[in-house]
């Protein structure tokens, strides 16, 4: 008969147990940020310098670990949207959300996968919870920009996650060439989303040269079927 994981008992953990829990969470955070959510519990245990049994005593499966680690990060992304809604200028608010949310995703592959739903079960976990938390805020940002006449009329709130998917893919492939060049692509996209009559924004960073583009493209892999 399986024992009940310590995380599920609701009782305060002993100091050594809490110390191990923190080490596991820190190791998972580092590995997920660097490699994405595909990291195994064995790898996390090795990075945390604890036995894999210790990991399972704290977290019965990887989804429980992801929930514990990313709940506060999802709150952070929701907080970015709330900050954006507090900006008086509707376009500046929408731009703020795109820029800051993508900055966080560019530096944390696990967070990007979590927000975009990769590897997350639809039956539970924080992928669906995160979308339910953030989606209404994004809808309000887009509606507000429409009402202000700042956003092209055919733009949809559901273009937002696809733009994030597109630009974050660029950030992934150019990470080792120029980790900031995704900002150029975001600028192009945002200019395309603006209503007619607005001047183009200046590019925030220089372009890649030919060798840089070839290096970035060499890392492309076709999607697995």
Q: What is the CATH number of the domain that holds 102?
A: 1.10.357.10
Q: Is the residue at 169 inside a domain?
A: yes
Q: Is the residue at 225 inside a domain?
A: no
125 in the same domain as 39: no
For residues 63 and 47, the answer to whether their CB atoms sit within 8 Å is no
106 in the same domain as 212: yes
Measured distance CA(69)–CA(83) in Å, rounded? 22
**In which domain, by residue range, is 30 found?**
6-60
Measured distance CA(108)–CA(35) in Å, rounded? 9
3-state secondary structure of 148: coil
pTM for the complete prediction?
0.74
156 in the same domain as 113: yes
CA distances from 65 to 34, 151, 180 (A): 17, 39, 30
pLDDT at residue 124, rounded to an integer: 41
Q: Is the residue at 1 inside a domain?
A: no
Measured distance CA(165)–CA(181) in Å, rounded? 15
Phi first, then psi: what are they for 194, rounded to 5°?
A: -70, 150
For residues 161 and 134, the answer to whether their CB atoms sit within 8 Å is no
pLDDT in tens, the chain (225 residues): 444 455 545 554 467 778 888 899 888 888 888 888 888 899 999 999 999 899 888 888 888 888 777 776 778 889 999 999 999 999 999 999 999 999 988 887 777 777 666 544 444 444 566 678 889 999 999 999 999 999 999 999 999 989 998 998 899 889 889 999 999 999 999 999 999 888 889 999 999 999 999 999 887 776 655
pLDDT at residue 76, rounded to an integer: 81
Q: Is the residue at 170 inside a domain?
A: yes
Domain count, the chain: 2
Q: What share of the chain is helix, strand, coil (3-state, %, to 5)?
A: 65, 0, 35
Tokens of 208: 């890649």
104 in the same domain as 210: yes
139 in the same domain as 31: no
**Number of CB atoms found within 10 A of residue 167's CB:** 22
pLDDT at residue 46, rounded to an integer: 92
For residues 73 and 101, the answer to whether their CB atoms sit within 8 Å is no
pLDDT at residue 17, rounded to an integer: 77
Candidates 131, 134, 144, 136; CA nearest to 87 is 144
153 in the same domain as 90: yes
**CATH value at residue 52:** 1.10.10.60
Measured distance CA(115)–CA(110) in Å, rounded? 9
């Amino acid at each position: 008969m399986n024992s009940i994981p310590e995380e599920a008992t609701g009782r305060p953990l002993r100091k050594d147990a809490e110390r191990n829990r923190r080490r596991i969470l820190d190791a998972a955070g580092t590995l997920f940020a660097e490699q994405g959510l595909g990291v195994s519990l064995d790898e996390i245990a090795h990075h945390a310098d604890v036995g894999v049994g210790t990991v399972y005593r704290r977290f019965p499966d990887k989804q429980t670990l992801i929930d514990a680690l990313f709940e506060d990060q999802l709150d952070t992304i929701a907080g970015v949207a709330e900050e954006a809604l507090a900006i008086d200028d509707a376009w500046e608010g929408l731009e703020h959300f795109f820029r800051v949310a993508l900055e966080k995703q560019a530096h944390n592959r696990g967070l990007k996968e979590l927000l975009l739903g990769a590897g997350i079960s639809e039956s539970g976990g924080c992928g669906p919870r995160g979308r339910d938390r953030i989606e209404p805020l994004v809808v309000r940002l887009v509606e507000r920009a429409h009402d202000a006449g700042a956003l092209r009329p055919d733009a949809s709130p559901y273009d937002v996650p696809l733009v994030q998917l597109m630009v974050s893919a660029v950030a992934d492939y150019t990470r080792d060439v120029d980790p900031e060049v995704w900002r150029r692509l975001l600028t192009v996209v945002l200019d395309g989303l603006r209503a007619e009559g607005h001047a183009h924004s200046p590019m925030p960073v220089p372009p890649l040269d030919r060798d840089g583009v070839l290096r970035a493209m060499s890392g492309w892999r076709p999607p697995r079927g």
